[in-house]
Structure 1
Amino acid sequence: MPRLPDQEDNVVTRMRYRFKEAWDCFWDFALRDNVLEVAIGLIIAAAFTKVVNSFVSDLYLPIISLLPFLNRNLEDKFAVLRKGKHYSDWGPDGYNTLEQARDDGALVMAYGTFLNTFISFVSIGLTLYTVGQVYTYFSEDVVIKRTVKCRYCRKWISSKAVRCVNCTSWQDGREDQIRS
């Protein structure tokens, strides 16, 4: 049987062309400026979050734990809502640690862990707000934009908006003049 080299070469050429086209499209997508900026921003944000969490857990909460009514680390505070099977085996006061209570199958409210997470969230938010304000002060490029509620549809819009993007009403009072 005779070989059909033209047809085989044509299929290979088309496959090679499609693969190269797909690779070029992926490369254009992956190396766009804003994709790289977002990736770098996410990496920096993850590192920043670790630093703030360490600050809260390792420096801030131990100082709060020195308060007279807190006799141990705030992160270890919990309340037993339903006792486990071996509650009395741990002594007259019950469980010593959150892990003991959870391992025993007790229903616990870990309010210390929640407070740790909440303080971390507030710390990250305040720090990012401060960084945004400092950046705005030095670069005059507004990062944190002020918003107000539209008087008609009550959705948030830019404070500099002349018209609402949601209901298209005028924000300078023209709507009231037309109705009068």
Structure 2
Amino acid sequence: MRGLEDSTDVLIRVGQSAGERVRHGLDAFLNFAARDNVLEVALGLIIANAFTKVVTSFVSDIALPVVSLLPFLNRNMDQKFAVLSQGPHYDPEKGYNTVKQARDDGALVLAWGGFVENMLNFLGVSLTLFAVAHLYMLVSHNKIIKPTVRCRYCKKYISVEVASRCLNCSSWQDGREDLPKDANDREDEYSL
């Protein structure tokens, strides 16, 4: 059967072509995923997530309960709130005991205690990661925290190491562009 053999050859060629495309795509993905930068970013995200959990636990389970013992707070920080607009079932004698109770009633709530807790978590995570970065720099002598300065002209930040010329606007940072040009300098320019 002549038609059957032709269709079989076409199917084999299509299958081989699809297999080559899959192998090519897999190789491209592995080349991308196995790069140093991608692996470093992934490792950094995992470590940052772990630090975030530890610091969040420290702030909410250890630090804030101690702060909540202060006489003027008398409850957990995450339960400190102000009712801006009362809900339909608001009882003036009882009020709302929790943020959830107020929100479930439809009240407009300013949950400032939760905001303070999140700010303390952020500061704790930031300071912890900054300390780990400095510790890493002391041990490995690699500079991962690089000081920067502002360009005099475009006001963008540039590294101190390359601060003689801005990478963004290509202006010299030593002020040579601000100096008036002499007639001698113009002659030297044209003689080149």
> Fold-level match, TM-score > 0.5?
yes
Q: More displaced, 33-42 or 69-78? A: 33-42
Q: In structure 2, what is the equivalent of residue 43 of structure 1?
A: 46
Q: In structure 1, what is the equivalent of residue 100 of structure 2?
A: 99
The answer to whether the 8 A contact 2:48-2:129 is kept is: no
- Separation of aligned partners in 1, 2:35 and 2:160: 32
Larger Rg: 2
- Pairing of 1:106-117 with structure 2 (within 5 A): 106-117=107-118
- Separation of aligned partners in 2, 1:22 and 1:153: 42
> 1:28 Cα shift?
2.2
Q: Does structure 1 residue 73 correspond to structure 2 residue 76?
A: yes
The answer to whether the 8 A contact 2:81-2:111 is kept is: yes
Cα 1:30–1:139 change in 2 (3 A) is closer
> 1:93 Cα shift?
4.5
> Gapped runs of 5+ residues in structure 2?
183-192
- Separation of aligned partners in 1, 2:123 and 2:106: 32
> 1:7 Cα shift?
3.1
Q: In structure 1, what is the equivalent of residue 189 of structure 2?
A: none
- Separation of aligned partners in 2, 1:45 and 1:85: 43
- Separation of aligned partners in 2, 1:136 and 1:32: 22
What CA RMSD, in Å, does the superposition of the two structures yield over aligned residues?
Answer: 1.8
Name which of 170, 173, 178 aligns with 1:171. Answer: 173
Query: Scaled by the length of structure 1, what TM-score is found?
Result: 0.90
Q: Which amino acid aligns with 2:175?
A: G
Q: Does structure 1 residue 29 correspond to structure 2 residue 45?
A: no
Identical pairs, percent: 55
Q: In structure 2, what is the equivalent of residue 129 of structure 1?
A: 130
Q: In structure 2, what is the equivalent of residue 61 of structure 1?
A: 64
- Separation of aligned partners in 2, 1:97 and 1:128: 33
Q: Which amino acid aligns with 1:19?
A: V
> 1:179 Cα shift?
5.7
- Separation of aligned partners in 2, 1:174 and 1:7: 70
Q: Alignment length, in residue pairs?
A: 178
Cα 1:62–1:179 change in 2 (3 A) is farther
The answer to whether the 8 A contact 2:77-2:113 is kept is: yes
Query: Scaled by the length of structure 2, what TM-score is found?
Result: 0.85
- Separation of aligned partners in 1, 2:140 and 2:12: 58
> Gapped runs of 5+ residues in structure 1?
none
- Separation of aligned partners in 2, 1:131 and 1:170: 35
SS of match in other structure, 1:177? coil
- Separation of aligned partners in 2, 1:84 and 1:179: 73
- Separation of aligned partners in 1, 2:15 and 2:101: 64
Per-residue CA deviations over 1:32-82 (Å, capped at 9, x if unaligned) read 332222222211211111111111101111111111211111111000000
